[in-house]
Amino acid sequence: MDKLLRSPRISKPLILKRFHSTNLLENSVSNSDNRLRLHEEKYTADMSTSLPPTVKAALNDLAQETLSQFGNAHMMVPETQGSLLHQLVKLFGAQRILEIGTFTGSSTLAMASALKPSDKLVTLERDPKPQEVAKRYIHQLNLEDRVDMRLGKAMESLIAIAKEEPRPQYDMVFIDADKKGYIPYYDFIIDNDLLSDRGLIIADNVLFFGQVHRIAGYEDDNPVEASKNVRKIAKYAHDFNKHVLQDSRVQVVVLPLFDGVSIISKTKV
């Protein structure tokens, strides 16, 4: 065994609850077979380059406020996923980003903080209460010039975007909203050419609560029985995954990261 691993001077890291997980989520079907992998998630956050100090501090404050005010605080992206989104924006040089589903703004802040002042992130949210929280943290980080917040039903906002002149195209689209809407949102984006030729669509929660592969018949064993609502949403996610795979206009990789992430790009001719 490696001497470092045996050293008595190496103490175990302090493992905290996933900062946005409610007790309901942590004790739910999503954690059967250790699906949440809390120790690994803490480790990956500690071993990843930190976001800029002001952004990290704001995200920590935002997480605590969301936990105290919202029963569905688990809808925030985890810390490492925020870092991944931030890095992807920089890596691909995204100048225009479309986000469907702001909630309290954790993913919004992570992506917008990677943009240049001349770049723009348009984020769509239907609920004014979490949007107001997001607005305050966007203001705190002086990101108002980069973030265009729109309130209303996502499809109505998408239709309004498609009517803009000139019609915008986005280098990154992050879909993290109601799962029943994933197929209509995706189709509208592709059908109306809102994704740039070099752009990416990133769809979150495509393995929803560890139930999507079970809905698809890949595993019968389910140590913790999922609720009817979880199974219904998992079915929406599975339908979306099949729909994208069958679309010859794009190519997709479904990754078992976080709660499942799909990375979709246009098929190169």
Residue 74 lies in a domain: yes
Q: What is the mean pLDDT of the chain?
A: 86
Residue 98 lies in a domain: yes
Q: Which residues sit opposite 266 in a β-bridge? A: 250
- In this prediction, residue 140 carries a pLDDT of 96
Residue 59 lies in a domain: yes
CATH code: domain of residue 262: 3.40.50.150
Residue 241 lies in a domain: yes
For the record, the structure tokens of 184 come out as 């209509």
Choice between 248 and 5, residue whose per-residue pLDDT is larger: 248
| Integer angstrom CA distances of residue 214 from 27, 223, 240 | 19, 12, 15
Asked if pLDDT for residue 6 goes beyond 50, the answer is no
- In this prediction, residue 21 carries a pLDDT of 39
Q: Domain of residue 33: give its range.
A: 19-266
- In this prediction, residue 26 carries a pLDDT of 54
- What is the pLDDT confidence band of residue 9, given thresholds at 50, 70 and 90? very low
Choice between 269 and 3, residue whose per-residue pLDDT is larger: 269
- In this prediction, residue 196 carries a pLDDT of 97
Section 142-149 average pLDDT:
97
Residue 9 lies in a domain: no
Q: Name the percent of the chain lying above pLDDT 70.
A: 84
Domain count, the chain: 1
Q: Name the percent of the chain lying above pLDDT 90.
A: 64
Express each pLDDT in 20-65 by its tens digit.
334 455 555 665 555 556 677 788 888 999 899 999 999 999 999 9
Q: Helices (DSSP H) in 141-226: which residue ranges?
A: 154-162, 182-191, 212-215
Express each pLDDT in 188-232 by its tens digit.
999 999 999 999 999 999 998 888 998 898 887 666 677 788 889
Residue 95 lies in a domain: yes
Placement of tokens 């250790």 in the chain:
34
- What is the pLDDT confidence band of residue 18, given thresholds at 50, 70 and 90? very low
Section 166-174 average pLDDT:
96
Which stretch of DSSP H or E encloses residue 199? strand 195-204
Whether 219 contacts 33, CB under 8 Å? no
Whether 35 contacts 27, CB under 8 Å? no
Residue 30 lies in a domain: yes
Residue 8 lies in a domain: no
